[in-house]
Amino acid sequence: MFYFNKWLPVLTLLLISSTLTSHAHAAVFSREHDRDTLILSGTPLITPIVRVLAEAFKKSHPTVDVFVENSKNDIAFNILKRGNIDVALTSIVLSSEQDTLLARGSLFARGALVVVANEANKVDDLKPQQIHDIYVGKIKNWRDLGGEDKAIKISLPMDGSIDLDLYKQVLNAALEMPSPTAVFIENSKARLEHVTRDEAELTFVRRREFLSNKLGKLVKINGMEPTDQGILSQLYPLYIGYYMVLWGKENKIAQEFVDFTLSEEGQKIVAEQGQIAVQ
C-alpha cells in the first residue's frame, strides 16, 4: 500500500530539486553574452572594402556587431562628431577646421583617378592643369595638346554622383562646372567603351575600374603612369586617399578595427579589393 502522507516530504524535495536544476540549466544555455556595436559610415567609394574587412574582423571579435552605412564625406564627419557613429570613412584629408586634437584620421588605402583616351590618340602625356582645363572646357581641341585637329569629347559620371564629386576633388575643380559639351554616362565600363569607339573621346575612371576592364589607353600625368609606387609616393598627382576617422575619447573597439585594417591581414584584404595597401 502506498502511504501518500509518508512520502509527501520526499516528493516535495525531489520536485524542488528538479525545478532548481532545470532553472540552472536554462540560465546556462539561454544567457546572452554581452555584445559590442561598431558603426561605420562614409562614402560608397570605401564602404564595399570596409564590409569585407568587417566580416574578417568579426571572426576574431565574435561578440561585436559591425554595421557599415553609406553617406557623404562631410555628413559622415558631422555625425561622427555628434557621437552617432564610431568611425567616419572619407576619401579626403581632414580640412584645417576638422583637423583638431579630437579627430584622429588613419590612412588605410590609396587609389587613383586615371585619364583614358582612344588607342589611336597621339596624346599620351598631360599635365594636371591641362586635365583641369579639359574638364571645365577651357581646352577644347586636341591640337592644343599636340594632337590632331579634333574637338575634345569628354564623358563623365552623372552630375551629382559620388564619382563626379570625387573627380572634382582630385582635379581641383570642386566649385567649377564641367565642360558644357560633356556627355554624362554613369557606368564606368560604358564610358570606357565610349572611348574605344571615338578617337577624340576622353574619360576619367578610378584605376581599379580601368584595370578591371582594360579598355582604351592610359594617359600619363607629368610623365608618370599610375603605378603602386607612383601613387604611394604621390608622384602620380591624381592619387586618392582612403581614411578611417575617430573622434573624441578613446573608443577601444573602433581603435581595434582600425588596427586590424592596418595589420598584415587587413592590408592583404585591401589589396585583394583592388586598392593599394599603405603598410
Predicted confidence (pLDDT) per residue in 55-97, tens digit: 999 999 999 999 999 988 778 888 888 889 999 998 876 666 5
In a domain, 31, yes or no: no
> Cα 73–74–78 angle (5° rounding)?
120
Residue range 244-269: mean pLDDT, rounded: 92
Indicate whether 125 and 220 sit together in one domain. yes
Indicate whether 104 and 116 sit together in one domain. no
Indicate whether 66 and 89 sit together in one domain. yes
Residue range 166-176: mean pLDDT, rounded: 86
In a domain, 16, yes or no: no
Helices (DSSP H) in the chain: which residue ranges?
4-30, 47-60, 73-81, 128-136, 162-170, 188-196, 207-213, 228-232, 252-261, 264-272
C-alpha 52/C-alpha 43 separation (Å) is 15
Largest CA distance in the chain: 118
In a domain, 223, yes or no: yes
Indicate whether 197 and 254 sit together in one domain. no
Indicate whether 259 and 218 sit together in one domain. no
**What predicted TM-score, i.e. pTM, was given to this entire model?**
0.79
In a domain, 9, yes or no: no
Indicate whether 247 and 150 sit together in one domain. no
In a domain, 1, yes or no: no
> Cα 71–73–77 angle (5° rounding)?
95
CATH code (residue 217): 3.40.190.10
C-alpha 175/C-alpha 204 separation (Å) is 18
The residue segments making up the domain with residue 245 are 36-110+241-277
Indicate whether 179 and 262 sit together in one domain. no
In tens, the pLDDT along 201-234 reads 999 999 989 998 889 999 999 999 999 999 999 8
SS3 205: strand
Indicate whether 226 and 144 sit together in one domain. yes
- The 10 Å CB-count burial string (b at 16+, else e) for 44-64 is ebbbebbebbbeebeeebeeb
Indicate whether 100 and 156 sit together in one domain. no
In a domain, 13, yes or no: no
Give the count of beta carbons closer than 10 Å to the beta carbon of residue 153.
19
Indicate whether 70 and 98 sit together in one domain. yes
Quote the number of domains for the chain: 2
Residue range 243-261: mean pLDDT, rounded: 91
In a domain, 24, yes or no: no
Between these two residues, 85 and 249, which has the higher pLDDT value? Answer: 85
Residue range 178-199: mean pLDDT, rounded: 93
Indicate whether 101 and 79 sit together in one domain. yes
HEC readout, 101-166: CCEEEEEEEEEEEEEEECCCCCCCEECHHHHHHHHHCCCCEHHHHCCCCCECEEEECCCCCHHHHH
In a domain, 211, yes or no: yes
C-alpha 33/C-alpha 15 separation (Å) is 30
Indicate whether 147 and 201 sit together in one domain. yes
C-alpha 260/C-alpha 279 separation (Å) is 12
